[in-house]
Structure 1
């Protein structure tokens, strides 16, 4: 891109480019040159908006974690409708077919990125932490509606669901699990606390 040409919403353009690379090629392919090439801009553009590449990646990860707010709201609103297993299956499938699975190895892959994230994200892995909170809030709503046992430990069930389903999707190069595989995994985790017809 020639110098002097204005780029609209450059941060979002760079974040979107990083997401495409991460989903297509994995964390090892994510470099500043790859991001700016994918975004169609000069390499200097990234460094004019971010201190360095790890600073860019930290803001990218946090941005993608915050994008889960709408998904969390939709899942909470689903409480009391459909079935608990179907709602969780849909939400977790959507989560793990998004950038979430790719963010986890990116955070693990880069020591400096983890160190920077710790400054603003003190516990857990961004995206997975948000996902566990989203699922726990949904399960709590279903418990309040009587569709889960009154003593269901939603703060323990949520990370179990996230971990179980994450393992199904973790192989980025393999075939994605189908809805029935996700449904079986979800059912296995929550079956002991369900109080609705299966």
Structure 2
């Protein structure tokens, strides 16, 4: 590999490479060598920017959690618009159509990564917990507008939606649920 070549935003280059490896080959294939090979850089680049590989993975997960802010904004803008079922269907399909399912598998499979993430996300499964919070905020806003029953248990509803949607999408190598499948599930829960 060439040395002495300036790289633009090495962290993002490495994160994107790790995401591609994770989506293509799964969490078991995610190694520092696989990431740097995918990124087209020397292995030392990763260790220059991160203390170790679990530190790199923790930063990757936290970066992808921060990207949920865009989905949160879309859902906030949807309050009072369209149908609650369609808004949740879109959010859940977008969430689990991304790297989220692979990140959950990665987090579960690596003890060192989980320990690092506990410092930033003390409870729940990272990314699922954050997405659950976004859904709960949305449900609360829709309930205030009268589009969800006033006596609905929003915590249970939110946990059911995020947990069950994760199960629908959990097999990254199998047939993905269609939008209609997700909509039917969301409609039955809501």
Q: Which runs of 5+ in 2 are unaligned?
A: none
Higher mean C-alpha displacement, 146-155 vs 13-22: 146-155
Q: Which runs of 5+ in 1 are unaligned?
A: 191-198
Q: Distance in 1 between matches of 2:139 and 2:130?
A: 14
The 5-angstrom pairing of residues 31-110 of structure 1 reads: 31-110=31-110
Q: Distance in 2 between matches of 1:69 and 1:151?
A: 28
SS of corresponding position for 2:41: coil
Q: Does 1:156 align with 2:144?
A: no
- Following superposition, the deviation at residue 13 of structure 1 comes to 0.4
- Following superposition, the deviation at residue 52 of structure 1 comes to 0.4
Q: Distance in 2 between matches of 1:12 and 1:85?
A: 34
Corresponding residue number in structure 1 for 2:182: 182
Runs of 4+ in 1 over 2 A off after TM superposition: none
- Following superposition, the deviation at residue 168 of structure 1 comes to 0.8
- Following superposition, the deviation at residue 50 of structure 1 comes to 0.4
Q: Does 1:137 align with 2:129?
A: no
- Following superposition, the deviation at residue 136 of structure 1 comes to 0.5
What is the aligned-residue RMSD (CA, Å)?
A: 0.8
Corresponding residue number in structure 2 for 1:168: 168
TM-score (norm 1): 0.94
Q: Distance in 2 between matches of 1:119 and 1:147?
A: 37
SS of corresponding position for 2:173: coil
- Following superposition, the deviation at residue 68 of structure 1 comes to 0.2
- Following superposition, the deviation at residue 154 of structure 1 comes to 1.4
Deviation sequence 1:116-155 (CA, Å, 0-9, x none): 1111211111110111001001111110110001122212
Corresponding residue number in structure 1 for 2:15: 15
- Following superposition, the deviation at residue 25 of structure 1 comes to 0.8
Q: Distance in 1 between matches of 2:19 and 2:52?
A: 18
